[in-house]
Amino acid sequence: MRFYFSSLLAVIFGVICSESADINDPHYEADRRFILDIFHNPSVNNSTRERNIPELIAFYRRYPNDVHLSDVDKQQFERFIFEYNESRNVLIDGVPPQGGIIGSIFGNFLGRLGYKYFECLFNKKKDEIKVAPV
């Protein structure tokens, strides 16, 4: 029951964010470049990527319509966010876990959906360059 309630809240939050998201935001391009520099760059190690998951989630929430994902992919992204948040809520001796579960969640995310999301985000810039008048 808790999962369904959380999913419902995530959908409602997503709709509200999509109505208020503005890709013309002056911070959009800087945020986009930051996300791509971290998550689409093979030379960046996994611990750096894991530390920047909150920024990835914030970007996804801030610009939900920027990358067109199928409904299944959106559900998987929401599931990734849910699992990440749940893993951060677990306290061991009063502090969040220092690895392990996050690495496996993030690894599964990168293997399945993350690749699609980052490729779409990266290719969006290529498409803009092709369309831009020279």
Specify the higher pLDDT residue, 77 or 2.
77
- The predicted model scores a pTM of 0.60
Would you say residue 129 has pLDDT above 50? no
Would you say residue 134 has pLDDT above 50? no
Side chain identity, residue 83:
E
- The helix-helix angle for 53-62 and 28-39 (nearest 10°) equals 140
Do you know the residue count of the chain?
134
- Could you state, in order of their start, the residue ranges of all structural domains in the chain? 2-131
DSSP state of 26: T
Side chain identity, residue 26:
P
Specify the higher pLDDT residue, 46 or 128.
46
Tens digit of each residue's pLDDT (9 = 90 or more) over 81-123: 888 888 777 777 777 666 555 555 566 665 556 666 767 776 7
Tens digit of each residue's pLDDT (9 = 90 or more) over 19-74: 444 556 778 888 988 988 888 888 988 788 888 889 989 998 998 888 778 888 88
78: Cβ contacts below 8 Å, ≥ 6 apart: 7, 10, 11, 14
Mean pLDDT, the chain, integer:
71
* Burial group, residue 33, by CB count within 10 angstroms (0-12, 13-18, 19+): exposed
